[in-house]
Amino acid sequence: MGLVAAAETGPLEFARAFGYGIGGAESNVAIGAARLGAPVTWIGRVGSDATGDMIERRLRAEGVRTVVVRDPGFTGLMVKHRRFGSTLSVDYHRAGSAGSRLSPDDLPAGCVETAGVLHVTGITPALSRSAHDAVFHAVERARAAGVPVSVDVNYRRKLWSPDEARPVLRRLVALADAVFAGVEEARLVLGPDGAGTAAELVGPLSELGPAQAVIKDGARGCTARIDGTGYRLAALPVTAVDPVGAGDAFVAGYLAELLAGECAEQRLRTAIAAGAYAVSVPGDCEGLPRRTELAALTGAEDVVR
């Protein structure tokens, strides 16, 4: 999506300065993993407009291989502003957009079958029936080819209701090898069984199918159950400037290390560090770190000469 962000805090109608860039969970993960050295392919549909041009150029500039279908419709848009304090409001303009017309036919032969990991989110199935079918078609192809499937629940209440989302997200999680969710997202997927803390939710979430279940818990870090072993890592202390995209950075860090063959604890440590970088900079993907920056976070100085 295109991303319009108001520069000042206050009612959107009085904002006079705006930034314009790209957003979207899948794009954020693609850029984040590519910056950490993973080979990444992004598959999607964008409009035949300036925003679509910008998205394709930005992804390619980040080293992401793009399989782009150009649609005669418009590219989706996200509008972000702070009404007061640190509270962010995000509005989506996606109904009828190019991305909402994603379909199973948009996935080229062999693109899924040759992947190291297929990553999808719970956002895409909410956009339309054809987008829903495209996600599950990709997942089925991956499973048939023995390609691990990664799912970030990424529930968006402005796109669909909990009752609409729960059965779809639950089915998606059950087909996954790795699942990422926030605490409330885990409760949503688990339904009546979804009470408790992150530590109490991660086991039942894993029991739905994924051998790797990770609950992203913001400033409290993360809780995971990976191949039967439990993990709990604290967040790194940073000044949060913009929380949007932190979860995507976390997933990018985890998947990059998974593809690199790193152990579970290292995957989580990199994920935590990537999330810390992301929240420290305005924008969805601007603050995503590169390998050379990860180690510098815990010992950062005020001035680096």
For 69, 109, 141, 142, the CA distances from 114, given in Å and listed in that order, are 20, 10, 11, 9
Tell me which amino acid residue 217 is: D
Spatial contact of 23 and 249, defined as CB atoms under 8 Å apart: no
CA distance 80 to 5: 5
Q: State whether residue 63 is helix, strand or coil.
A: coil
Spatial contact of 47 and 98, defined as CB atoms under 8 Å apart: yes
Residue of 71, 177, 217, 248 marked catalytic = 248
Residues in Cβ contact with 8 at an 8 Å cutoff, skipping those fewer than 6 apart: 14, 15, 16, 17
- Pull the structure tokens for residue 73: 């419709």
Give the residue carrying structure tokens 């069984």. Answer: 193
CA distance 237 to 191: 33
Is 106 among the residues known to form the active site? Answer: no
Strands 178-182 and 149-152: parallel
CA distance 274 to 187: 25
Query: Which sequence positions are flagged as catalytic?
Result: 248
